[in-house]
Chains A and B, each alone.
Chain A
C-alpha cells in the first residue's frame, strides 16, 4: 500500500500536504482510489468557498459508488484541479499527483494534528 511518509492523512482517506506558501493541498489516498475503483465523475468545490473541518465539500464517483470528500481542516478553497473534471481516471493512475483542491487553512497548526502515515496505515488495517 502506497502511503507517503511526508503527507498527513484523515481517517476518511484524504491526504494533505502543506505547501511552502502555507496553503494545503488535498487529495484522496491510494487506498481510497483502489477501494472505489475506476473514477468516472468528480464534483469539486468552488474557489472562494469557506469550509469547516470535516465538512463534505467534494464528491468522487466511481463506476461502483459515490463518495463524499471532507475538508481535512477549516479554511478557504483557493484552487481546484479542474483538469480532473475531464480526466477523473488520473486519480486512479496516481492518487498523490492528482490533487483535488487547495485550502488556505484558518489555523496554521491544524494540519499537524492530522494522522501521520503510520497512524493512517493503522486505521486501514494494512500491515
Chain B
C-alpha cells in the first residue's frame, strides 16, 4: 500500500501521472515534464513535497547536540530563521542523509529530511540523543504538509495567494525562514528550494494544504511533478540522496566538501573517518558533446585517469543537451573530454563544474 500526501486527490483530478516514489504515490508530471521545467525557470511552478519529513528538535542544548550530530557547523546559524544544508554521517564518514536545518530558537531547531530516509534518520538521531542529550525531544511532524513554490515570479505569486504573507517574508534573505501567524494558522515560509530558482518552501498544517494549492493555482502557479524537480535540481548541480551519495560514499567524494567542517576543533559524527580517508574520487559535471543518447545513472565514464561512473544523468531542457553528475578519479579537470559508454557506443562528454543552469540561465557553454 503506497503512502499518500494530503494533495493526492488534487493531483489525480489534475490528470497527473502518478508513480511509486520510495513508497509514496507521487505525481511525476501533469502532462509535459519539460513544460513544467520551463515554467519554473521562467515563471513559477509548485511541487508537492509533503512526503519529505519535518522533524523538530526541542530542548535545552539543541545547538550543542546538532554541533555534534551534523557534519556542517550549526554555529554558522547566528540569526533566528537562518538555514543550513548539512549531511548526517555515519561514524564511518558516509552519508546517512542530507537535510536542511533551520535555527528558530536556541531551544528549537527544525530539520527537513528526505522521505525515503526519514524513519532511518529519526531512529539514528534518537540513538544519538539517548547517548548525548537525553533531555532533548525529537518530534517528527507528520501533521504537516509542504509545498515548494519556485521560479522568478514565485514569491510574488505566494504573496498574492496568501494574504498577509508579504509583510512577514518580503525581507527574508535566501536560506532563511519565518513563521507567520496568518488566517492560515501556523505557517512556516522558507526562502529555500531545490531548483536553482528563487522561491519559497511553505510548511503548514496538512488540513490546509489543499486550499493553499488551489489558491496558488488560481494565482497562476503551475503544478510540476517529480520529473521536473529532478531535471531542475540536476541543472542546479544539487545532489539527490540515494543516487549521488548514500551510506557507501563519503561527502568528500560527493561534491559536498564545502558542507563538511574539518577545520574547526569541533568534533562531529564521522569526522575522524573523514580525516583518516581523504578523497580518492570527485563528483564532476558532464555535458554530452554529441548526439547519440542521454546520459544516465550507472553509465561508465572513461577518463585519462581511470574509469568512473555517472550517478545522475538526464536531458537538460534549459541546455537542450544531456547533462550528468559523475564520480571520477581525482585529477580529471573541467574542460577535459571523457568518453561515456551509452549502449554499444562511446560518446564524448565535456567535464564542467556544476551548476549547469540557475536563475533561468545556462551557466555552461554548449559546444
Footprint of B on A, CB under 8 Å? 34, 37-38, 40-41, 43, 59, 61, 63-64, 66, 92
Give the docked Cα–Cα distance between A66 and B295 (Å).
10
Question: Does B281 sit at the interface, judged by CB under 8 A?
Answer: no
Residues of B within 8 A of A41 (CB): 291-294, 315
Tell me if B33 counts as interface (CB < 8 A to partner A). yes
A40 x B33 contact (CB < 8 A): no
A44 to chain B, nearest CB (A): 13
Given A63-B314, A64-B227, are A38 and B32 neighbors across the interface (CB < 8 Å)?
Answer: yes
A63, B293: Cβ atoms closer than 8 Å:
no
Report the separation of the CA atoms of residues A59 and B29 in the bound assembly, to the nearest whole angstrom: 22
Chain B residues lying within 8 Å of A66, measured Cβ to Cβ, are 293-294, 296, 343
A34, A38, A59, A63, most chain B CB atoms within 10 A: A63
**Interface contact B343-A64, CB-CB below 8 Å:** no
B57 to chain A, nearest CB (A): 36
Contact yes or no, B343 A63, CB < 8 A: no
Give Cα A61 to B292, complex, Å.
10
Contact between chains at A40 and B29 (CB < 8 Å):
no
Contact residues in A for B33 (Cβ distance below 8 Å): 37-38, 63-64
Q: Let me know if A63 and B315 touch, CB within 8 A.
A: yes
Residue contact A63 to B227, C-beta cutoff 8 Å: yes
Can you give 18 A-B contacts (C-beta < 8 A)? A34-B17, A37-B28, A41-B291, A41-B293, A43-B293, A59-B293, A59-B343, A61-B293, A61-B294, A63-B33, A63-B34, A63-B231, A63-B294, A63-B314, A63-B317, A64-B28, A64-B227, A66-B294
| Total contacting residues, chain B, CB less than 8 A | 17
Contact digits for B27-43, partner A, Cβ 8 Å, 1 yes 0 no: 01100111000000000
Docked pose: A66 CA to B54 CA in angstroms:
35
Closest 6 pairs (CB-CB, A-B):
A40-B315, A38-B34, A61-B294, A63-B315, A38-B33, A37-B33
The residue of chain A having its C-beta at the shortest distance from the C-beta of B316 within the complex is A63
Q: A34-B17, A37-B28, A64-B33 are in contact. List 19 more A-B contacts (CB 8 A).
A: A37-B17, A37-B29, A37-B33, A37-B227, A38-B33, A41-B292, A41-B293, A43-B292, A59-B293, A59-B343, A61-B293, A61-B294, A63-B33, A63-B231, A63-B315, A64-B227, A66-B293, A66-B294, A66-B343
Contacts of B32 in A (CB 8 A): 37-38, 92
CA distance A92 to B89 in the complex (A): 43
Q: In chain A, what residue has the closest Cβ to B345?
A: A43
Q: Tell me the smallest distance from the CB of A92 to a CB of chain B, in Å.
A: 7
Tell me the nearest residue of chain A to B317, going by C-beta: A63
Chain A residues with CB under 8 Å of B317's CB are 63
Contact of A40 among B28, B292, B294, B296 (CB under 8 A): B294
User: Could you give, for residues 291-320 of chain B, a 1 whenever the CB lies within 8 Å of some chain A CB and a 0 otherwise?
Assistant: 111101000000000000000001101000
Expressed in whole angstroms, the minimum distance between the Cβ of A53 and any Cβ of chain B is 21
Residues of A within 8 A of B227 (CB): 37, 63-64
Contacts of A92 in B (CB 8 A): 32
Interface string of B11-53 (1 = CB under 8 A from A): 0000001000000000011001110000000000000000000
Q: Provide the bound-state CA to CA distance between A66 and B314, in Å.
A: 11
Residue of A37, A59, A61 most packed against chain B (CB within 10 A) = A37
* Chain A neighbourhood of B315, CB < 8 A: 40-41, 61, 63
Report the bound CA distance from A64 to B34 in whole Å: 11
Which residues of chain B are near A61, meaning CB under 8 Å? 293-294, 315
Closest to B291 in A: A41
A66 to B291, CA, bound (A): 14
The CA of A43 and the CA of B34, in the complex, are separated in Å by 20
Per the bound structure, the CA–CA distance linking A92 and B231 in Å amounts to 19
